[in-house]
Amino acid sequence: MSGGSSPSSRRNSSNSLSRDLDLSSEQGCLSIVVLGASGDLAKKKTFPALYHLFDQGFIQSGEVHIFGYARSNLSDDGLRERISGYLKGAPEEDLSEFLQLIKYVSGSYDNGEGFEKLNKTISEYEASSKTESYRRLFYLALPPSVYPSVCKMIRTYCMNPSSHPGWTRVIVEKPFGKDLDSAEQLSSQLGQLFEEHQLYRIDHYLGKELVQNLLVLRFANRLFLPLWNRDNIDNIQIVFREDFGTEGRGGYFDQYGIIRDIIQNHLLQVFCLVAMEKPVSLKPEHIRDEKVKVLQSVNPIQPEEVVLGQYDGYKDDPTVPDDSNTPTFASVVLRVHNERWEGVPFILKAGKALNSRKAEVRVQFKDVPGDIFKCKKQGRNEFVIRLQPSEAMYMKVTVKKPGLEMATEQSELDLSYGMRYQNVKIPEAYERLILDTIRGDQQHFVRRDELKAAWQIFTPLLHDIDEGKLKAVPYQPGSRGPKEADELSTRVGYVQTHGYVWIPPTLA
């Protein structure tokens, strides 16, 4: 924390701001229930996000209580101790105040006894709050296999009492099924228990700062409006790279693979924001309508425009079958059949155990017609949105090289967030999305028909992989991935720039 006023006083001063920003006019006590409270997701993501919202004044003592629920036999202090280990650097006074908001209830996920106890504990807090409106938010930090039983228990035992105004909302984590049929079955089961406006399907990529910036960039800047189409753009890459492998998660990962784990959800969400038409307004339903439209415009994926890879050593994990064909790398070309994008390939690429860690959108423009400077060999203009790490946006442009000769080179016009916003804390994705749920804003959550359209695109490909019709080729850890992936990108039109490297600017 920076010097000056104490954290608690900063939190109080931000209180009026948080209220002004609140999208919901509802007041009253708020109960946040984290199911799976003793698991890694809750400890590493959910509780730290709740602490940061508390520290910034968005949730307050006296207005909110947090309940952890899991099968583990823990006391209130036992859970608090586990959580505090993931809140390093938090001021002791603030941390203590936050942890006192947390209570723990132990119970199973398919038995009413534990949920009756949970409801009783929540109701005691609500009765002591002296407010009329009761708001209940349930965060399922749990495997999707238990969603139906847990949601049935919530519906039966833990709904907001009808005698009081307020709401009940449920956040569910991905993966939402393994293919179209399983996703539809899960959607149907949850849909029988809750209305669509009560369900928040969280994809944390939609909470990332630069992903949220995509709509602003596209529709608030006159510069991009005439350029963002097939007449000017040659191809678009959406890339996710990790420089480590499955690292002990091999058995879990092998059930899903890189397409289900990353491409079908995270990268496809980014694709929607890059490719969609301008919504009528910023209302969540208008934005999600346009996302569905662009998903429905995607042509079936062609096998010749797919490259799968599996890094050498993946099957050394004893939890991974020796004959596994699960891809740890995939490059998939999507083609959109509409007026704006006809003929423009969208290359979605994700992989583990590669030579770098990054996630970015790379928009490559067509060659300049009538190239009088003969500079085509230096590469095309590209607009790059770096999602992580070192959040940035930069435009690769050709400029005159300093000196007496008329020589050209590639440089960049650069907006690096670490430089431009030095004293601004970029919020974590989970902070933003939990706050959106409290406010009732579903803009950054996945709607049921959107989920269905996404699975319709990838299910035939996934079934071909599962049946062994498409094979993963080996690649070396620490490489760019299979050479076939670069060949595919070249074949569909991507021109790699040689000799140019973007270096994140520093304050040094």
Model pLDDT for residues 191-226, shown as the tens digit of each residue: 999 999 999 998 877 777 778 788 888 998 898 899
Please report, for residues 22, 170, 253, 296, 306, the alpha-carbon distance to residue 178 in angstroms, rounded to integers and kept in the order given.
36, 21, 12, 19, 19
Cα–Cα nearest to 336, from 293, 291, 299, 292: 299
pLDDT for 19 beyond 80: no
Query: Quick one: which H or E segment has residue 251?
Result: helix 250-254
Task: Copy the structure tokens of residue 157.
Answer: 């035992």
Q: Where are the beta strands (DSSP E) in 28-163?
A: 29-35, 64-70, 102-106, 134-140
pLDDT value for 487 = 95
Section 36-47 average pLDDT: 88
Is 90 exceeded by the pLDDT of residue 174?
no
Query: What are 420's two structure tokens?
Result: 């431009």
Q: Residue 26 carries which DSSP code?
A: -
The span from the CA of 139 to the CA of 244, in Å, is: 29
Q: Would you place residue 129 in the very low, low, confident or very high pLDDT band (cuts 50, 70, 90)?
A: confident
Half-sphere CA count of 107, side-chain side, radius 13 A: 22
CA dihedral 466, 469, 475, 481 (to 10 degrees): -80
d(C-alpha 202, C-alpha 144), whole Å: 12
Q: Cα separation of 449 and 283, whole Å?
A: 17
The mean pLDDT value for 343-363 works out to 95
User: In this structure, are residues 309 and 474 in contact, taking their beta carbons and an 8 Å threshold?
Assistant: yes
Of all residues in the chain, the percent with pLDDT exceeding 70 is 92
| DSSP string computed for 307-369 | EEEEETTGGGSTTS-TT----SEEEEEEEB-STTTTT-EEEEEEESSBS--EEEEEEEEPPPS
Q: Is the pLDDT score of 508 beyond 50?
A: no
Q: Which residues neighbour 130 within 8 Å (Cβ) at sequence distance 6 or greater?
A: none
Burial 12-25 (b: 16+ CB within 10 A, else e): eeeeeebeeeeeee
Q: Give Cα 10 distance to the centre of its chain.
A: 29
Can you read off the two tokens belonging to residue 396?
């690769």
CB 306 within 8 A of CB 287: no
**Residues recognised as catalytic:** 266
- Alpha carbon distance, N-terminus to C-terminus of the chain: 22
pLDDT over 90 percentage in the chain: 52
Do 101 and 129 touch, CB atoms closer than 8 A?
no
Alpha-carbon distance of 493 to 146, in angstroms, equals: 44
Distance CA 29, CA 12 (A): 18
Q: Both tokens of residue 398?
A: 């050709």
Question: Residues 139-157: what's their mean pLDDT?
Answer: 91
List pLDDT tens digits, range 316-337.
999 999 999 999 999 999 999 9
pLDDT digits (tens, 9 = 90+) for 234-266: 999 999 999 999 887 888 899 899 999 899 989
d(CA 356, CA 358): 6
Q: What is the rounded distance in angstroms from the CA atom of residue 107 to the CA atom of residue 116? A: 10
Please state the pTM of the whole predicted model.
0.86
- Report the 10 Å Cβ neighbour count for 99: 20
405-408 long-range Cβ contacts below 8 angstroms, 24+ apart: 406/373, 408/373, 408/375, 408/378
Phi, psi of 122 (to 5 degrees): -65, -45
Instruction: Report residue 99 CA to chain centroid gap.
Output: 27
Please give the structure tokens belonging to residue 135: 């708001």
CA 280/CA 378 separation, integer angstroms: 40
Contact 172, 139 (CB under 8 A): no
> Which amino acid belongs to residue 499?
G
pLDDT of residue 466 exceeding 90: yes
Q: How far is CA 405 from the centre of its chain?
A: 47
Provide the pLDDT for residue 204: 78
Q: 285-319 pLDDT, tens per residue?
A: 999 999 999 999 999 999 999 999 999 999 999 99
What's the pLDDT score for residue 16? 34
Which pLDDT does position 377 carry in this prediction?
Answer: 66
Task: Considering only residues 38 and 408, tell me which one the structure prediction assigns the higher pLDDT.
Answer: 38
Rounded CA separation 295/455 (Å):
10
pLDDT, average across residues 128-135: 83
Contact 419, 427 (CB under 8 A): no
Is 80 exceeded by the pLDDT of residue 122? yes
- Which pLDDT score is estimated for 262? 92
- Beta-strand ranges (E) seen in 41-163 are 64-70, 102-106, 134-140
> Residue 14 — very low, low, confident or very high, per pLDDT cuts 50/70/90?
very low
| pLDDT given at position 375 | 65
Confidence of residue 417 (pLDDT cuts 50, 70, 90): low
**Mean pLDDT estimate for the chain:** 86
Structure tokens at 395: 């435009």
Contact 437, 171 (CB under 8 A): yes
Which of 19-23, 348-352, 437-441 tops mean pLDDT? 348-352
pLDDT for residue 88: 78
What pLDDT shows up at residue 13? Answer: 40
Residue 336 gets the label, from left (phi > 0), alpha (psi -120 to 50) or beta, of beta
At a CB cut-off of 8 Å and minimum separation 6, what does 267 contact?
A: 238, 240, 348, 350
87-120, pLDDT tens digit by residue?
877 788 888 889 999 999 999 998 889 999 999 9
* Mean pLDDT value across residues 365-372: 82
pLDDT (0 to 100) of residue 200: 92
For residue 66, name the pLDDT band (cuts at 50, 70, 90): very high
Q: Which of 88-97, 243-252, 421-430, 453-462 has the lowest mean pLDDT?
A: 421-430
